[in-house]
Amino acid sequence: MTFEPAPETVSLEIVGMVHDGGDTVVLLAPQEKAFWTEFSTSAEYSDGGADPLDRYSKRVIRKLAQDWGGQAVFPSDGPPYPPFIAWALDSDEAWSSPVGLLVHKRQGLWLSFRGAVRIPRLLTLPEPARSPCSYCIGPCITACPVMAFAGGSYDVAACKAHLETPEGAECYQGCKVRRACPISQSYGRLEAQSEFHMKAFHPK
């Protein structure tokens, strides 16, 4: 089967496939820059309801799952929650970076999962890729102004405290750690999308 998103789901791309039992799990992430264009003009974005991004993602991924004859799966399903990180690592298209965040072969540190489709059969998987971190000098390691990712863990309190300072305003254009990744820089994430996520994480 060829996996080509329907017009309603052109904003998504496949970022990994993995066998899970007798099924194939197809991982889906935003496809820049189409994703922000589609989402920011959607009914969910403008209707004033809660969790617009999750509602948009569920609508388009459920439609895609129907088209593919599979079942939609989302990170928020649970508890127990689907093992998206384990699936990503098993796909050989994403790896743990020096700062602990997942890095993807095309998306770099911008990788974020909107959902997945579970196909009830074993499909041929892509050839394993090589982690970009294996040949990178690691600019992400020192990119955070408050070293919130020091030691591979994430200091949420330090990050949010910095966002409340004048110097933290620049981080609303996108996390400096994520932006420092050379793969991220070539991917084309729009500042408007990064600001949307940052405001949801810590409203100004």
Does a structural domain hold residue 79? yes
Does a structural domain hold residue 1? no
| Per-residue model confidence as pLDDT tens digits over 53-81 | 999 999 999 999 998 999 999 999 999 99
Q: Which amino acid is at 156?
A: V
Does a structural domain hold residue 2? no
**Residue indicated by tokens 């052109």:** 10
- What gap in Å lies between CA 72 and CA 86, rounded to an integer? 17
Does a structural domain hold residue 129? yes
Does a structural domain hold residue 83? yes
Q: Which amino acid is at 162?
A: H
DSSP state at residue 80: S
Which residue segment(s) compose the domain that 27 sits in? 7-201
| Predicted pLDDT of residue 153 | 86
| Per-residue model confidence as pLDDT tens digits over 125-153 | 999 999 999 999 999 999 999 999 987 78
Number of domains in the chain: 1
- Among 54, 47, 93, 86, smallest CA distance to 72 is for 54
Residue 63: what are its φ and ψ, rounded to 5°? -65, -40
The DSSP bridge partners found for residue 19 are 24
Prediction pTM value? 0.93
